[in-house]
Amino acid sequence: MRGTQKHIFRWVWARRTTAAVFLLLLVLGRYEWFPWLKGNTAATTVCRIVPFADPLAAIEVTLATRRAEIDLLVGAGVLLAFGVLAGPVFCGWVCPLGLLLDLNDALRRGWTQRLHRGSWLVRGLRVPAEIKYGFLGLALGFALVARLPAFQTLSPINIVAWAIVFSAWPALLVVGALVAVEHIASRVWCRSLCPLGALYSLVGRYGLLRVRVDPARAGKLRCERCTQSCPMGIRVTEDYVVAGKSAIDHPDCTRCGACVDACPSGALRLGMRATRDTSGVSDHTTPGADTDVRQCRSRRPGKTWRRV
């Protein structure tokens, strides 16, 4: 299309690659000649020595069986410790269902660009993000009372992995229904329903790895591309960039890097340390910034830039 700038989003493709590689390793783990990774999305071992376990699965199994399995708890502890340091990166970089829904969301963005900007299908239905914490409580309570790790049996995350690794394609009917719903309520599973995501958001609330804001560059354009690109629906421009925050500390931020890729001024980056303001002047009140907002909002998505 004439006037369209095609942009390659390196963080987007990096996270899709890591999730795809994880799935590939699970498939290869079925074979005896591949010893490097054995298991599934609930629990795996690297080189048949180092255990990794889904923290929610470990807690559910422990509550259901009333017994502590050392390997399971150690494996869960490793991922929880990593989550404390880096935040809920599993959701953005490893989750097989997250990969599927990310690709599905790209498809949704494609066909909604042909609709009027004010259409409710473009905006999508909004489901409160706090609901996922209730599902987390229900999953743990059910495991304790009924002595059954129900979420591990019904989890769409595990269903996607099982279907691909073990060719159990009929199980994908449930996931297919979820994918269809996501065309109406964008990323509703990740934002509002996933108990595992709720757990990771709690433990990774104060993770050191964050999307950092460069105060010397922030607020110059206020184009809101970062907000529009965020799969978790975080108001990056309004609540962090323009507000003068040094980093995005929203509990749902998965460090996926979508906002970093989308930012035309380079004001955002993934890192452990805050960016120092060496300019001596704050750019958060740049004259004419409100005009930039109106101009950017008036453009229909896809006319000036395109996500690929």
User: 68-86: per-residue pLDDT in tens?
Assistant: 889 899 999 999 999 999 9
Same domain, 193 and 298: no
User: Both 102 and 14 in a single domain?
Assistant: yes
Residue 288 sits in the same domain as residue 179: no
Give the residue from 160, 187, 203 where a domain finishes: 203
In a domain, residue 103? The reply is: yes
Asked if residue 16 and residue 97 are part of one domain, the reply reads yes
41 vs 7, residue with greater confidence = 41
**Is position 280 within any domain?**
yes
Report if residue 292 sits inside a domain: yes
Return the pLDDT at 58: 95
Domain assignment of residue 59, given as a range: 10-203
Higher pLDDT, 304 or 194: 194
Give the least confident one: 38-47, 217-226, 291-300: 291-300
Average pLDDT over residues 251-280: 82
Same domain? For 198 and 236 the reply is no
Whether 4 is covered by a domain: the verdict is no
**pLDDT confidence of residue 114:** 64
pLDDT at 105: 86
Residue 3 lies in a domain: no
Region 41-65 average pLDDT: 91
User: 44 and 176 in one domain?
Assistant: yes
Residue 29 lies in a domain: yes
Prediction pTM value? 0.82
36 and 131 together in one domain: yes
pLDDT confidence bin for 7, thresholds 50/70/90: low
Q: Is 5 inside any structural domain?
A: no
> Which of 173, 188, 203 is a domain's end point?
203
Looking at per-residue pLDDT, the higher value among 165 and 255 belongs to: 255
Whether 217 and 147 share a structural domain:
no
Co-location of 141 and 252 in the same domain: no
pLDDT (0 to 100) of residue 306: 40
| Domain match, 91 and 118 both | yes
What percent of the chain is predicted at pLDDT more than 90? 44
Q: 299 pLDDT exceeds 50? A: no
Check pLDDT > 70 for residue 29.
yes
**Domain boundary residue, one of 181, 203, 225:** 203
- Please report whether residue 126 resides in a domain: yes
**Is pLDDT at 293 greater than 90 in this prediction?**
no
Q: Answer whether residue 286 shows pLDDT above 60.
A: no
CATH code, domain with 302: 3.30.70.20
The answer on 242 and 199 residing in a single domain is: no
| Predicted confidence band of residue 112 (pLDDT cuts 50, 70, 90) | low
Task: Return the minimum-mean-pLDDT range out of 92-106, 150-164, 202-216, 288-302.
Answer: 288-302
Distance of CA 191 to the CA centre of its chain: 8
pLDDT reading at 303 higher than 50: no
Band the pLDDT of 275: cuts 50, 70, 90: low
The per-residue pLDDT for 91 is 94
228 and 296 share a domain? yes
In the chain, the number of structural domains is 2
Mean pLDDT value across residues 178-198: 90
The mean per-residue pLDDT over the stretch 132-145 comes to: 96
What is the model's pLDDT at position 3?
40
Please tell me which residue, 304 or 153, carries the higher pLDDT value. Answer: 153
Percent of the chain with pLDDT over 70: 80
* Cα(23)–Cα(187) distance, integer angstroms: 21
What pLDDT sits at residue 176? 84
